[in-house]
Amino acid sequence: MPRIAYVNGRYVRHAVAAVHIEDRGYQFADGVYEVCEVARGFIMDMTRHLDRLDRSLGHLEIAWPMSRKALQTILREVVKRNHVVNGMVYLQVTRGVAGRDHVFPAAVRSALVVTAKRSDPAVALARAETGVKVITVPENRWERVDIKTVGLLPNVLAKQKAKLAGAYEAWFVDPDGTVKEGASTNAWIVTKDGKLVTRPAESGILRGITRTTLFDLAAKMGLTIEERSFSVAEAKAAREAFITAATTVVMPVVAIDGDPVANGHPGSIALSLRGSFFDVAEKTRA
């Protein structure tokens, strides 16, 4: 059964899906994206993802490619056509296709691509039960990482560096030693007295949707969240550390730059947050 992608108005075979060579996403990274988790046949937190898409598009003055309702239908349709029960759905909106010129083209239609991919929840669970390693890298991204643009070259390079070091994620660190976020995840620690700590979303990170939903979950579980910066040293000495994203949900971190976090095993709070996430997130049937 072939994979299917949505490209500018048509459902096409993934293997031959293509955009024009002068799509501004391709030439200038002039576009934005979203990734939603798909779990047990539901698209998770679609409302929040589309709200953030609206914000990203607004900041870059890119028009919605269609109505929000029509986009929701396409997301569900792509998930359905690919028989994704667990995995993710990806959407990308670029400013559109126009002759190469840095300034915004006049009257161009924004371009939309949607893909979906299956993944095995058993693999993710096994990874969560082992925990993942992270390395730290100096922050070298632009200031507007709060906008979810497809301009991800520093993230790509950091992630590759992590892979070569035998780690899963790279944490960007400011010159003052505080952790910003991962290359594709938000960063968290748990203090000795059981408080969750994560950097304020106004402070040079992407406001992750998983991060936002974790606030709802923490409240339900009676856990306190402190939104403040934390240093690499504090993370290494913490009771637990973990990362969050639509692609990883809650993933325990067991080592930072080769030093174990606590006893080097996944923390119980991270695992219980992971276990309850599905119950709290918004679920849209695909």
Residues that bind ligand PDD (CB under 6 A): 35, 181, 184-186, 206, 208-211, 244-247
Tell me the closest approach of the beta carbon of residue 152 to ligand PDD, in angstroms: 7
Between CA 158 and CA 207 the distance in angstroms is 19
Residue 148 annotated in active site = yes
Report the phi/psi class of residue 52: left, alpha or beta, with left for phi > 0 and alpha for psi in -120 to 50: alpha
Closest CA to 147 of 55, 10, 239: 55
At residue 250, what are phi and psi to the nearest 5 degrees? -110, 120
Tell me the closest approach of the beta carbon of residue 63 to ligand PDD, in angstroms: 22
Closer residue to ligand PDD, CB minimum distance, 192 or 228: 228
Pairing of the two strands 225-227 and 87-94: unpaired
Pairing of the two strands 249-256 and 196-198: unpaired
Handedness of CA 282, 227, 248, 49 (dihedral sign): positive
DSSP secondary structure string for all residues of 120-171: -HHHHHHHHHH-EEEEEEE--S-S-TTS-BS--HHHHHHHHHHHHTT-SEEE
Closer residue to ligand PDD, CB minimum distance, 32 or 269: 32
Q: Select which of 80, 117, 133, 148 is catalytic.
A: 148
Closer residue to ligand PDD, CB minimum distance, 82 or 115: 115
Tell me the closest approach of the beta carbon of residue 177 to ligand PDD, in angstroms: 19
Tell me the closest approach of the beta carbon of residue 108 to ligand PDD, in angstroms: 25
Closer residue to ligand PDD, CB minimum distance, 35 or 60: 35
Tell me the closest approach of the beta carbon of residue 242 to ligand PDD, in angstroms: 12
Closer residue to ligand PDD, CB minimum distance, 94 or 244: 244
Between CA 155 and CA 125 the distance in angstroms is 24
Between CA 27 and CA 242 the distance in angstroms is 35
Pairing of the two strands 132-138 and 169-173: parallel
Active site residues: 148
